[in-house]
Amino acid sequence: MRYLLLILAASLTLSLTGCGVASRSHYDPYYNNQTDYRGSSSQYNGNRSKNLAPRVIGEYMDAKAAAIAGHSRDADVRVVTDRKGIPALQITYNASALVSSFNGTISNRGERELDYICRLMSDEKHTDVSIVAGTRSSDRSNVLAGVNIIKNYLVKRGIAKSRIVETDAVRGGGVLTDTYTITFMADNNMVRRANNGAL
């Protein structure tokens, strides 16, 4: 009975530590979230010689997601599907983990997180970047300011401004606290190289 209670306590602890964005890193591979990389979008059904991008880019994004999840205790890391049906790397933080509420700058912890991400993603220039805040408030101005602070910091650390294709803030969606989500998506050049076996 004592061992059974210990097992139940351990299970409860694991369940609780997995709750919330900032409790600990979470890695949820695309192929567990959806099906797998092969033929996941109707865009890639048909000629298999042109159907390499979801699998090849998925493997690339999986490797990056695993590295970030292993490095960070603050990030919720996932490989999701973008609008083209291609795997994309999505990293979400509680707002306080990246932007200081005292002076409106990147916090020391945020600098460590973003510096690591920029170094990790420096090997592939053909990714578009989205920065989106989630908020409970009807006033989006504070989190939009944070989005621009993060954008400027990424540019300062070597992410080309032209790669940042979306900056926005959305309200609701079950958000319990303000968050920032940075998503790296394959651009058309990367998709083409993956389909040609050159990635």
More confident residue, 32 or 179: 179
CA–CA gap between residue 135 and residue 181 (Å, rounded) = 11
Nearest to 93 by CA among 181, 162, 165: 181
Q: What are the residue ranges spanned by the domains of the chain?
A: 41-195
CATH number of 41-195: 3.30.1330.60
Query: How much of the chain exceeds pLDDT 70, in percent?
Result: 72
| Contact status, residue 114 vs residue 106, Cβ threshold 8 Å | yes
Nearest to 91 by CA among 122, 56, 120, 124: 120
107-119 residue pLDDT tens? 999 999 999 999 9
Strand partners, 27: 77
Give me the mean pLDDT over the 74-92 stretch.
Answer: 92
More confident residue, 124 or 110: 110
Question: 31 exposed, middle or buried (CB, 10 Å; 0-12, 13-18, 19+)?
Answer: middle
